[in-house]
Amino acid sequence: MTQRRPLVAANWKMNGSLASIRPLLKGICSGLQAKCDAEVVICPPYVYLAELTDKLGNSGIISGAQNLSHLESGAFTGEISADMLKDFSCKYVIVGHSERRALYGETDGLVAAKFMRGQDAALVPILCVGEQLAERESGDTEVVIERQLNAVIELAGIKAFNDAVIAYEPVWAIGTGETATPDQAQEVHAFVRLLLARHDDAVADKIRILYGGSVKAANAVEIFNMVDVDGGLIGGAALDADEFLSICHAARGS
Ligand code: PGA
């Protein structure tokens, strides 16, 4: 089995100000221990990427973005391109977050196009998948995850997942304080890996699958201990330096 280095990514969403992110970044950079096994990524609002890159210095923490356009450039008011993100040293980009799908009408097809555009520009997509509460309750969790993943596999091909990360984020657990139990997370993570393995065993074995949805210092260890959980995508808890650092240090290499 491949050794998968854990990854912990902060998704700041539309939070923060210059005044608040400066001490937050200072706290995170100074508190991150050298023996932290995890690769640590921060995805701020676009306008703070320059500040982030500047303040991260040689901390080893990596910059990411929360979204990108599926188009290269042109008359698309308000959009941000993959190449612009590269200009600000971004390595990762979140695609298909459930808030983008639900609030901004992002379809499986558009998410797949964003995934490909990111990869074409040498960004590593963090592809979010996850079911709504009603879908879980009607027993459709696997159907939804399979549909979301297949859209990307069909457009980008299975080998594209060699340079990608998947985040399983049950929508009912995002920002609600309600976390999936470690067993619930493991069950879906194992399903995602199985689904990829139907196309390519090596890709399935290598890919990192993060869990997201109300992860905090108090529950990170038990979730990260599950065999198919390779780290987390952290929202609210990433806005507090101590909380986020505890989560980073909870992620252990296998
Ligand atoms: P949360 O958000 O940790 O606040 O639940 C996670 C996410 O939406 O990525």
CB atoms closer than 10 angstroms to residue 120: 12
The more confident residue out of 24 and 175 is 24
**92: which strand partners?**
64, 124
Overall domain count for the chain? 1
pLDDT score of 71 more than 70:
yes
Contact 94, 60 (CB under 8 A): no
Is residue 63 within 8 A of residue 89, CB to CB? The reply is yes
State the distance from the centre of ligand 1 to the C-alpha of 83, rounded, in angstroms.
Answer: 26
Closest CA to 93 of 129, 121, 60: 121
pLDDT in tens, 74-123: 999 999 999 999 999 999 999 999 999 999 999 999 999 999 999 999 99
Average pLDDT over residues 229-236: 98
Tokens (6 digits) for 201: 């065993």
Q: Ligand 1 pocket check: which of 8, 127, 215, 224 to mutate, most ligand atoms within 8 Å of Cβ? A: 215
Whether 170 is in a domain gets the answer yes
Question: Is residue 77 situated within a structural domain?
Answer: yes
Quick check: helix, strand or coil at residue 129?
Answer: strand
DSSP code of residue 47: G
CA 166 and chain centroid, separation: 7
Whether ligand 1 lies within 6 angstroms of the CB of 236 is answered as yes
Q: How far is CA 100 from the centre of its chain?
A: 13
Is residue 167 situated within a structural domain? yes
The CATH number covering residue 164 comes to 3.20.20.70
Pick the closest to residue 199 from 230, 167, 159 (CA basis).
Answer: 159
Q: Confirm whether 1 is domain-assigned.
A: no
Structure tokens, 210:
């993060």
> Dihedrals φ, ψ of 106, to 5°?
-75, 120
**234 close to ligand 1 (CB < 6 Angstrom):** yes
Q: Could you tell me the pLDDT band of residue 2, with boundaries at 50, 70 and 90?
A: confident
Instruction: Find out whether the beta carbon of 175 lies less than 6 Å from any atom of ligand 1.
Output: yes
Is the CB of residue 30 less than 8 Å from the CB of residue 57?
Answer: no
Q: What confidence score (pLDDT) does residue 119 get?
A: 98
Residue owning the nearest CA to atom 3 of ligand 1: 235
pLDDT digits (tens, 9 = 90+) for 193-203: 999 999 999 99
In this predicted structure, the answer to whether residue 33 has a pLDDT above a threshold of 90 is: no
Structural domain span for residue 31: 7-250
Cα 75 to ligand 1 centre (Å): 32
121 occurs within a structural domain: yes
Contacts (Cβ under 8 Å, ≥6 apart) of 105? none
User: Distance, CA 74 to ligand 1 centroid (Å)?
Assistant: 32
Residue 2 falls within a domain, yes or no? no
The closest residue, in CA terms, to atom 7 on ligand 1 is 235
77-91 as b/e, with b when 16 or more CB fall inside 10 Å? eeebbbebbbebebe
Extended strands (E) in the chain: 7-11, 39-43, 62-65, 90-95, 124-129, 165-168, 208-212, 231-234
Confidence of residue 3 (pLDDT cuts 50, 70, 90): confident
Note whether residue 110 is domain-resident: yes
pLDDT in tens, 151-187: 999 999 999 999 999 999 999 999 888 889 999 999 9
**Average pLDDT over the chain, rounded to whole?**
96
End-to-end CA distance of the chain: 10
Among 27-31, 33-37, 210-214, 231-235, which stretch is predicted with the lowest mean pLDDT?
Answer: 33-37
Mean pLDDT computed over 211-223: 96
Residue 165 lies in a domain: yes
* pLDDT value at 254 more than 80: no
Cα 79 from chain centroid? 20
Cβ of 60 closer than 6 Å to ligand 1, yes or no, is no
Q: What is the mean pLDDT of residues 239-246?
A: 98
Averaged over 9-17, what is the pLDDT?
98
As a whole number of angstroms, the distance between CA 214 and CA 202 comes to 30
Q: Is 213 in the pocket of ligand 1 (CB under 6 A)?
A: yes
